[in-house]
């Protein structure tokens, strides 16, 4: 019997849960409650089974996990394709575990918002257990040493994989973990690698470690994380060659591509849920800046492709529309999304949106200059170099993004969320396309002919000035590397005109752009566009309109 809390009163099943007035008897009878889709399986049985037979463990208990992977786990349970749900663990923002999982008895609401205003609400009960990496070491070890474990997945943002500073030196805590060995590991990377080692030493079949983060070669980032730790431990004699080989060669690191716009929780959805009588729906920001609530809101379209490389088997994802396929197809799909048909446009809307005072992506889609910017950038500059992955049509994907997904007025995504960590995203979102131009033998593929990609890169510099188009200071979105970026940029104020020499240290940085922008022939253009954008108040709008208005200027070339 599970103990639950309802309005601070401890009660027993099958009464009510803190999520509101849900009654487990209703779940068992498969009835809907005020139109909410309810779990149609025995929740307690799933919890008990998963406790004894953990198949799938996920790190990163944020919004995307609850909107997408956790719903896949629910579909597996509903369809009787699995008896196990998913266990989640936080390795960074442990406040989420208390506030989104434990205090809600591991029930969550997923609100799917459609462009016509329909909101489908579903109670998700497939997260059977939630853990904190700092406190639940024994349970994590038990899970990692279970023969049933097949997959460990991650949505921890690109920062989660970072072990080194910008000079490529290990961060002090990572260096400490390497020196002291697996027993004393205290960093996220160290603890994960120590757990993998526990599995190796238990003599169990290897499992798949799957990054579901939006970053270039997410599989490589995750593999490099454990390999760096294990390599250090091998060097210092903490582990054997056999241990090292298990972590680096036997565990697999399938590549993935994941897509589903999952914004921060929306006040309007909160109000709707409260109106239905649910308590505890308020949106909050954790001390580590994650914005969360007892519910998540997301859109309907979703894509998930994972390289089919699961040494101990995998949940029956292929029955749920997940594409399990070759690495090369996943790679092409990820590039299609991240470099061409979606994420570059996200960044364009994020940066221009912050400068022009927008707080909703869907409102930006009513701005003809911005719509022209992202349409021309994707269709003219990015698409010509896209490789069709064969399983998703890039043109259909792009047009769904432009025509339905961004304009969805009920999906409250914000330019401020999108602008988070931009310094880590430019290399993949734009650098890959610029490299492809540079390497293309086709004469018309000249990077010097580009307008819109350089305009967005220049917009990032203008964004870094920290003053909006009205001339008012605004809060930059969180970005872990912002200190170093500002050091390279130096102090630039609105109205300053800068030289190529002045911007060379930043614009030539392969770390930020993936290539030296001057080497591929766009650095000069970025500097010129920045000077246009930075002329003074309203110059952002004027420049945007100049290049993206109905009437286009003659190409400079």
Ligand X SMILES: O=P(O)(O)OC[C@@H](O)[C@@H](O)[C@H](O)[C@H](O)CO
In terms of CB distance, is 160 or 182 closer to ligand X? 160
For the stretch 360-366, contacts whose Cβ atoms lie closer than 8 Å and that sit 24 or more positions apart, written own/partner, are 360/412, 360/413, 360/414, 361/406, 361/411, 361/413, 361/414, 361/415, 361/418, 362/406, 362/407, 362/408, 362/409, 362/411, 362/412, 362/413, 364/406, 364/415, 365/406, 365/407, 366/407
According to CB under 6 A, which one of 54, 60, 69, 523 is a site residue for ligand NAD? 60
Site map (CB under 6 A) of ligand X, residues 285-324, x = contact? ----------------------------------------
Helices (H), 250-383: 267-275, 327-335, 343-356, 361-364, 368-376
In terms of CB distance, is 4 or 261 closer to ligand X? 261
Beta carbons within 8 Å of 461's beta carbon, 6+ residues apart: 489, 492, 503, 506, 526, 530, 533, 534
Minimum CB separation of residue 190 from ligand NAD in Å reads 12
Stretch that binds ligand NAD, among 84-92, 347-355, 502-510, 529-537 (CB under 6 A): 84-92
Task: Indicate the DSSP class of residue 112.
Answer: E
Stretch that binds ligand X, among 75-83, 255-263, 509-517, 523-531 (CB under 6 A): 255-263
523 interacts with, out of ligand NAD, ligand X, none, CB within 5 to 8 A per kind: none
Paired tokens of 220: 């490589």
Site membership for ligand X, residue 509 (CB under 6 A) = no
160 interacts with, out of ligand X, ligand NAD, none, CB within 5 to 8 A per kind: ligand NAD
Quote the radius of gyration of the chain (alpha carbons, Å): 24
Site map (CB under 6 A) of ligand X, residues 202-221, x = contact? ------------x-------
Site membership for ligand X, residue 351 (CB under 6 A) = no
- Size of site (CB under 6 A) for ligand X: 9
A 10 A CB-CB count for 501 gives: 8
Inter-residue contact 549 to 369 (CB < 8 Å): yes
Site membership for ligand X, residue 525 (CB under 6 A) = no
A 10 A CB-CB count for 249 gives: 10
C-alpha 527/C-alpha 334 separation (Å) is 30
In terms of CB distance, is 214 or 256 closer to ligand X? 214
Minimum CB separation of residue 338 from ligand X in Å reads 8
Query: Apex CA 154: angle with CA 333 and CA 282, to 5°?
Result: 105
Site membership for ligand NAD, residue 350 (CB under 6 A) = no
Paired tokens of 473: 């200071």
Tell me how many helices (H) and strands (E) the chain has: 25, 15
Site membership for ligand NAD, residue 160 (CB under 6 A) = yes
In terms of CB distance, is 213 or 532 closer to ligand NAD? 213
Task: Indicate the DSSP class of residue 533.
Answer: H
62 interacts with, out of ligand NAD, ligand X, none, CB within 5 to 8 A per kind: ligand NAD
Task: Indicate the DSSP class of residue 446.
Answer: -
C-alpha 473/C-alpha 92 separation (Å) is 31
- Size of site (CB under 6 A) for ligand NAD: 24
346 interacts with, out of ligand X, ligand NAD, none, CB within 5 to 8 A per kind: ligand X
According to CB under 6 A, which one of 163, 225, 418, 492 is a site residue for ligand X? 418
C-alpha 455/C-alpha 197 separation (Å) is 47
Max alpha carbon distance in the chain (Å)? 74
Beta carbons within 8 Å of 287's beta carbon, 6+ residues apart: 95
Stretch that binds ligand X, among 17-25, 70-78, 317-325, 413-421 (CB under 6 A): 413-421
C-alpha 178/C-alpha 190 separation (Å) is 8
90 interacts with, out of ligand X, ligand NAD, none, CB within 5 to 8 A per kind: ligand NAD
According to CB under 6 A, which one of 62, 182, 315, 523 is a site residue for ligand NAD? 62
* CA-wise closest residue to 60 among 163, 177, 153: 153
What residues between 257 and 276 interact with ligand X by CB under 6 A? 259-261
In terms of CB distance, is 266 or 346 closer to ligand X? 346
Paired with 110 in beta bridges are: 122, 296
Site membership for ligand NAD, residue 415 (CB under 6 A) = no
According to CB under 6 A, which one of 108, 308, 343, 543 is a site residue for ligand X? 343
In terms of CB distance, is 108 or 214 closer to ligand X? 214
Site membership for ligand NAD, residue 423 (CB under 6 A) = no
According to CB under 6 A, which one of 87, 152, 247, 258 is a site residue for ligand NAD? 258
Q: Are strands 151-154 and 208-211 parallel, antiparallel or unpaired?
A: parallel
228 interacts with, out of ligand NAD, ligand X, none, CB within 5 to 8 A per kind: none
Paired tokens of 528: 């010129």
In terms of CB distance, is 177 or 259 closer to ligand X? 259
Beta carbons within 8 Å of 20's beta carbon, 6+ residues apart: 276, 277, 278, 279, 280
Stretch that binds ligand X, among 65-73, 93-101, 418-426, 446-454 (CB under 6 A): 418-426
Site membership for ligand X, residue 456 (CB under 6 A) = no
Paired with 131 in beta bridges are: 89
According to CB under 6 A, which one of 108, 126, 157, 451 is a site residue for ligand NAD? 157
Write down the residue that tokens 């994941």 correspond to: 258
Q: Which residues bind ligand X (CB under 6 A)?
A: 214, 259-261, 343, 346, 418, 420-421
For binding to ligand NAD (CB under 6 A), which residues are involved? Answer: 60-65, 90-93, 155-157, 159-160, 188, 213-214, 258-262, 290
């Amino acid at each position: 019997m599970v103990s639950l809390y309802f309005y601070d009163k401890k009660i027993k099943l099958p009464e009510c849960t803190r999520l509101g007035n849900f009654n487990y008897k209703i779940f068992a009878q498969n009835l809907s409650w005020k139109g909410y889709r309810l779990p149609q399986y025995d929740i307690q049985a799933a919890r008990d089974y998963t406790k004894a037979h953990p198949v799938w463990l996920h790190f990163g208990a944020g919004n995307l996990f609850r909107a997408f992977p956790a719903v896949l786990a629910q579909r597996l349970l509903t369809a009787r394709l699995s008896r196990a749900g998913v266990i989640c663990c936080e390795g960074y923002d442990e406040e989420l575990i208390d506030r989104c999982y434990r205090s809600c008895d591991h029930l969550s609401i997923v609100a799917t918002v459609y462009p016509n205003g329909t909101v489908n609400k579903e109670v998700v009960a497939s997260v059977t257990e939630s853990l904190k990496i700092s406190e639940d070491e024994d349970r994590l070890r038990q899970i990692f040493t279970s023969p049933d474990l097949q997959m460990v997945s991650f949505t921890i943002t690109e920062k989660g994989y970072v072990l080194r500073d910008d000079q490529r030196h290990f961060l002090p805590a990572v260096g400490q973990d390497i020196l002291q060995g697996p027993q004393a590991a205290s960093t996220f990377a160290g603890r994960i690698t120590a757990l993998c080692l526990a599995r190796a030493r238990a003599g169990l079949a290897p499992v798949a470690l799957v990054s579901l983060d939006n970053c270039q070669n997410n599989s490589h980032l995750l593999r490099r994380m454990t390999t760096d730790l294990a390599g250090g431990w091998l060097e210092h004699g903490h582990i054997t060659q056999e241990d090292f080989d298990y972590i680096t060669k036997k565990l697999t690191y399938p590549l993935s591509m994941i897509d589903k716009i999952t914004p921060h929780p929306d006040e309007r959805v909160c109000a709707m849920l409260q109106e239905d009588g649910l308590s505890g729906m308020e949106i909050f920001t954790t001390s580590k800046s994650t914005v969360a609530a007892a519910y998540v809101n997301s859109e309907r379209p979703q894509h998930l492709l994972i390289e089919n490389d699961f040494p101990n088997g995998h949940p029956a994802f292929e029955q749920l529309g997940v594409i399990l396929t070759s690495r090369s197809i996943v790679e092409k799909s990820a590039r299609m999304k991240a470099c061409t048909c979606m994420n570059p446009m996200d960044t364009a809307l994020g940066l221009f949106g912050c400068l022009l005072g927008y707080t909703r992506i869907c409102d930006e889609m009513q701005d003809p200059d911005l719509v022209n910017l992202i349409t021309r950038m994707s269709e003219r500059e990015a698409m010509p170099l896209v490789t069709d992955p064969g399983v998703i049509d890039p043109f259909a994907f792009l047009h769904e993004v432009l025509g339905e997904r961004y304009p969805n007025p009920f999906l409250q995504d914000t330019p401020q969320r999108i602008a988070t960590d931009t310094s880590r995203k430019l290399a993949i979102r734009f650098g890959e396309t610029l490299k492809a131009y540079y390497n293309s033998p086709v004469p018309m593929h000249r990077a010097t002919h580009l307008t819109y990609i350089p305009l967005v890169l220049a917009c990032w510099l203008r964004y870094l000035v920290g003053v909006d188009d009205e001339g008012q200071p605004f809060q930059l979105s969180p970005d872990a590397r912002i200190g170093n970026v500002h050091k390279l940029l130096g102090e630039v104020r609105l109205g300053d005109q800068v030289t190529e020499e002045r911007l060379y240290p930043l614009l030539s940085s392969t770390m930020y752009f993936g290539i030296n922008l001057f080497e591929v022939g766009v650095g000069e253009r970025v500097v010129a566009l920045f000077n246009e954008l930075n002329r003074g108040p309203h110059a952002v709008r004027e420049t945007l309109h100049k290049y993206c208005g109905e009437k286009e200027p003659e190409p400079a070339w």
